[in-house]
Structure 1
Amino acid sequence: MEENPLIIALDFKGMDEVEAFLEPFRGQNLFVKVGMELFYKEGPNTVYRLKELGHRVFLDLKLHDIPNTVMRAMKSLAGLGCDLVTVHAAGGRAMMEAALEGLEAGVPSGLSRPSCVAVTQLTSTEEAHMKTEQLISVSLRESVYHYASLAKISGLDGVVCSAWEASGIIQRLGNGFLTVTPGIRMGTEDHQDQKRVATPEMARELGIHAIVVGRPIIRAANPVEAYGTWMKSWRGASQ
């Protein structure tokens, strides 16, 4: 994965909306995220088309199933040419190792396998809900650290986490272990369904490797201008 990408979450209902959004960015090579809504509506052609347009693709399906099922699913996803994929760390070590096995088996000849990162705790999760609904007795932060350590032991490339836990993960597991962080907002924005949020400047100072931004860019009056503003905040005014 390139250094410090800003990944745009394509939270659209279909490819017609995606193509309309991307048109003003013609000539730019973006890093974009395809989530469940878009992929389940449009299928693999979503990834093929985005790669055809020259963009890197984060396919965020958060696989969580028995190891053999995840292995077979990842083998199929690796053939799409995506650059980054996700599993749920809660699926356990055997499942995460199986995910890597599937990616290695399915990647087209001559290409590198997609990076694989594990979702720890969703950025919409609050500690009280984690304890009462997931019955996890440790703190939310310790739960995230545990999942991150498990992901690294399993051979994964990194984790999806909030900015609140990222610096601790980097300290514990090293700078080479990727931290991909959603829930990034400018200071004046509505947090919507995100609970554990941070600004892009904070994310940069914490050493986070990649941030994911959706609605603040795709719903902006001028998405290209909004993207430029976010990139300056994320990478510094000199960018």
Structure 2
Amino acid sequence: MSYDYSKVIIALDTPDEQKALEIVRLLKDKVSVFKVGLELFCSQGPKIVKKINNEGCKVFLDLKLHDIPNTVAGAAKACLSTGAFMLDVHASGGCQMMRKAREAVDNADVSPKPILLAITVLTSLDESDLAAVNINKSPTEQVKTLALMAKESGLDGVVASPKEISVIREAAGDDFLIVTPGVRPAWAATGDQKRVMTPAQALDEGADYIVVGRPVTAAPDPAEALNKLFQ
């Protein structure tokens, strides 16, 4: 079975601009969306997003905004100047915070508007981690709760592990985007991820996008690793 590489987002988990752009140039013929997270953004600033855009690619700006509503609204508005394709906030910041972010994006004079996502439960967490902070729910139950909050707040979708795709689909519908990190090929180590599936399994479950980082970017030959992503 063949899989659609337009649904693959490559995570640029490096602080180094040259290395990040080298990966983009190496893989952009097959993948068009790259994730800029805190490490790269804090090292290189907004200009790195524009440089990736100048390569003809799109950026998922993964800053996981989480603060009081007005601060998140201001930060979301500031993110728009980068030309990011996607950006995200933490659903656990609450509905008011997410609505303020939605308003900031909708009211800004930019086109096209970026996809606005909510982080649910990080893929490095499991039930014991949630219990440690007095959340007496399974990760699946907590993800469902946060996904419904995000939908109620007008966001376009969520970031969640592939383990929760079917639950989110049933609760939030087919038009609600699901972006799934916690994706590891069968031949790769899981690293610090706890709730994982293979790329093929995640797409078969119904993910709209899958995020893959180190199995590809840290490989001796990233292009070869990308080519065998679904093996």
TM-score range, shorter chain: over 0.9
Match status 1:44 vs 2:73: no
C-alpha RMSD over aligned residues: 1.7
Q: What is the aligned residue count?
A: 228
User: Gaps spanning 5+ residues in structure 2: where?
Assistant: none
**Residue matched to 1:112:** 112
Kept in 2, the 8 Å contact 1:64–1:87? The answer is yes
Shift of 1:4: 5.5
Kept in 2, the 8 Å contact 1:89–1:150? The answer is yes
Kept in 1, the 8 Å contact 2:130–2:137? The answer is no
Kept in 2, the 8 Å contact 1:180–1:212? The answer is yes
**Residue matched to 1:161:** 160
TM-score by length of 1: 0.90
Q: Give the Cα–Cα distance (whole angstroms) in 2 for the partners of residues 112 and 207 of structure 1.
A: 25
SS in 1 for 2:163: helix
1:70-219 correspondence to structure 2 within 5 Å? 70-108=72-110, 111-132=111-132, 134-219=133-218
Kept in 1, the 8 Å contact 2:10–2:31? The answer is no
SS in 2 for 1:79: helix
Shift of 1:5: 1.3
Q: Using a 3 Å threshold, how does the CA distance of structure 1 residues 169 and 97 change in structure 2: closer, same or farther?
A: same
Shift of 1:28: 5.5
Shift of 1:30: 1.6
Q: Using a 3 Å threshold, how does the CA distance of structure 1 residues 127 and 202 change in structure 2: closer, same or farther?
A: same
Q: Using a 3 Å threshold, how does the CA distance of structure 1 residues 26 and 208 change in structure 2: closer, same or farther?
A: closer
Match status 1:229 vs 2:231: no
**Residue matched to 1:24:** 26
Q: Give the Cα–Cα distance (whole angstroms) in 1 for the partners of residues 31 and 167 of structure 2.
A: 31
**Residue matched to 1:66:** 68
User: Gaps spanning 5+ residues in structure 1: where?
Assistant: 235-239
Q: Percent identity?
A: 41
Q: Deviations over 1:89-114 (max 9, x none)?
A: 00000000111111123342xx1210
Q: Using a 3 Å threshold, how does the CA distance of structure 1 residues 29 and 4 change in structure 2: closer, same or farther?
A: closer
Q: Deviations over 1:38-97 (max 9, x none)?
A: 001110101111111111100000000011001111111112110100100000000001
Q: Deviations over 1:167-202 (max 9, x none)?
A: 110011111101110011112321110000101121
Q: Give the Cα–Cα distance (whole angstroms) in 1 for the partners of residues 175 and 28 of structure 2.
A: 32
Q: Give the Cα–Cα distance (whole angstroms) in 1 for the partners of residues 83 and 49 of structure 2.
A: 7
SS in 1 for 2:228: helix
Q: Give the Cα–Cα distance (whole angstroms) in 2 for the partners of residues 25 and 118 of structure 1.
A: 27
Q: Give the Cα–Cα distance (whole angstroms) in 1 for the partners of residues 89 and 200 of structure 2.
A: 27
TM-score by length of 2: 0.93
